[in-house]
Amino acid sequence: MTQVAVVSYGAGNVASVQFALERLGATVRLTADPVEIAEAERVILPGVGAAGYAMSRLAALNLIAPLRAFERPLLGVCLGQQLLFERSDEGDGVELLGFIPGAVKRLEPGAALPVPHMGWSRLTRDHDDPLLAGVEDGAYAYFVHGFVCPDGPATVARADYGGPVPAVVRSANRWGCQFHPERSAQAGAAILKNFLGLPA
């Protein structure tokens, strides 16, 4: 049975992620223990709210070093995807985990669209990736975010919200979903199932 450590650091709705994974047959451990995270088979880094607060919580719990050193599959969800990048323009600027080059910026979709981006948007794949196996081009995913990651070589799939929104990113063994797969019906369940099946 696949084992997953979900990082519980006070900046994410871990319960919905836990339940979604357990429905797929995974054994889930909610943890903020650096040793458990370092030794996990795979890790999910959730997140909601502010990047600065999230990074301060990770620092206070001594989780930044084990996350940066983790070499097995890691999935950042929502704010967790943004934390994979180098920095955020939120406030006076925040240093993030630094796996993917670039700065996370405030979402500015134009006057016709509200911020945050909240609701269902279609995914358009940039290229194939095992995380998206069985997910149709144009599948819907559920988004809630007010900042957006830079679009670049790490982008695997995009949504459109007054401009391109990197919806799935990847750098080596680290993936990110800007949307909430645990709330994204069949497409989200397929992505989580694919994550559980990635070679550890």
User: Taking Cα atoms as reference points, which of 155, 123, 164 lies closest to residue 140?
Assistant: 123
CA 123 to chain centre: 15
Which of 78, 90, 117, 149 is catalytic? The answer is: 78
Active site residue 127: no
Residues contacting 92, CB < 8 A, separation 6+: none
**Residue owning tokens 């809630």:** 144
- Measured over the CA atoms of residue 169, residue 172, residue 82 and residue 30, the dihedral's sign is positive
Q: Is 86 annotated in the active site?
A: no
- Separation between Cα atoms, residue 20 and residue 42, nearest integer Å: 15
Element (H, E) at 67: helix 64-69
- CA distances (Å), 125 to each of 48, 60, 121, 164, in order? 24, 37, 13, 12
Q: Which residues pair with residue 45 across a beta bridge? A: 76
Residue 78 annotated among the catalytic residues of the structure: yes
**Catalytic residue, candidates 117, 149, 177, 180:** 180
Could you give the residue numbers annotated as active site?
78, 180, 182
